[in-house]
């Protein structure tokens, strides 16, 4: 009976460790977010671009993005639900301003990655 209890406990421990490792861990701006922004956002969110002219948001560098817009912060490290960036790409804000504007919505995997990165602290 003791051996069976130990086996069950070890199995549950192993499953818990596996579940913890299966999520998106250690996302960074440089490795994960910048390539997405470069492909989908930067063309509008640089000086001279329509997105920049309307909001003042630059997405061509980490520092510029973390600075936010003339309306305030767009990334609140540790809280995707409080971050305008996540709310805009996920469609949780006004649907008429879902980003990227005038293009297909980002795939769910990319939206989840943005949320996970922010929730993990929006590390560079």
Q: How confident is the model at residue 30 (pLDDT cuts 50, 70, 90)?
A: very high
Share of the chain above pLDDT 70, in %: 81
Q: How many CB atoms lie within 10 A of CB 39?
A: 12
- Average pLDDT on 15-21 reads 37
**Is 19 part of any domain?**
no
Q: How far apart are CA 54 and CA 64, in angstroms?
A: 15
**Is 80 part of any domain?**
yes
**Is 113 part of any domain?**
yes
- Its pTM stands at 0.80
Q: How far apart are CA 45 and CA 52, in angstroms?
A: 5
Domain span at residue 78 reads: 25-119
Q: How confident is the model at residue 95 (pLDDT cuts 50, 70, 90)?
A: confident
Q: How far apart are CA 56 and CA 52, in angstroms?
A: 5
Res 25: pLDDT:
81
Q: Nearest Cα to 74, choosing from 82, 63, 85? A: 85
For residue 117, is the peptide bond before it cis, meaning its omega torsion is within 30 degrees of 0?
Answer: no
pLDDT of 52 above 80: yes
For 55-64, how does the pLDDT look when each residue is reduced to its tens digit (9 = 90+)?
999 999 999 9
pLDDT of 17 above 90: no
**Is 106 part of any domain?**
yes
**Is 16 part of any domain?**
no
Count of structural domains within the chain: 1
**Is 12 part of any domain?**
no
């Amino acid at each position: 009976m003791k051996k069976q209890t130990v086996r069950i406990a070890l199995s549950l421990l192993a499953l818990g460790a596996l579940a913890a490792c299966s999520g998106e861990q250690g996302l960074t701006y440089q490795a994960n977010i910048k390539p997405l922004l470069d492909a989908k956002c930067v063309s509008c969110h640089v000086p001279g671009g329509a997105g920049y002219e309307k909001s003042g948001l630059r997405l061509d560098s980490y520092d510029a993005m973390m600075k936010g817009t003339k309306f305030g912060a767009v990334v609140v490290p540790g809280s995707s639900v409080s971050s305008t960036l996540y709310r805009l790409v996920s469609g949780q804000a006004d649907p008429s301003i879902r980003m990227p504007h005038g293009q297909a919505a980002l795939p769910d995997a990319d939206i989840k990655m943005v949320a996970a990165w922010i929730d993990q602290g929006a590390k560079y």
